[in-house]
Amino acid sequence: MTVSNAQLAFIFPGQGSQAVGMMRDWSDNSTVSATFAEASQVLDYDLWALVEEGPSETLDRTDCTQPAILTASVALWRLWRERAGVLPQWLAGHSLGEYSALVAAEALAFTDAVALVAERGRLMQEAVAPGEGAMAAVIGLEDEQVRAVCAEAAAQRGQVVQAVNFNAPGQVVIAGEREAVEGAGEAAEQAGAKRILPLSVSVPSHCTLMQPAAERLAERLAAIDIRQPSESMRVLHNVDVQVSRTPEEIRQRLVAQLAQPVRWSETVQQIAAAGGEVFAECGPGKVLSGLTRRIERRLEAVPMVEPDSFTALLERG
User: Could you give the residue numbers annotated as active site?
Assistant: 95, 206
Q: In whole angstroms, how far apart are CA 174 and each of 124, 136, 163, 166, 170?
A: 16, 5, 4, 9, 13
Q: Are 159 and 282 in contact (CB under 8 A)?
A: no
Contacts of 200 (CB under 8 A, 6+ apart): 60
d(CA 88, CA 253): 22
90-93/8-12 β-pairing = parallel
User: What does the buried/exposed string (b/e) look like for 101-119 if buried means 16 or more CB atoms within 10 Å of the residue's CB?
Assistant: bbbbbebbbbebbbbbbbb
Q: Are 94 and 284 in contact (CB under 8 A)?
A: no
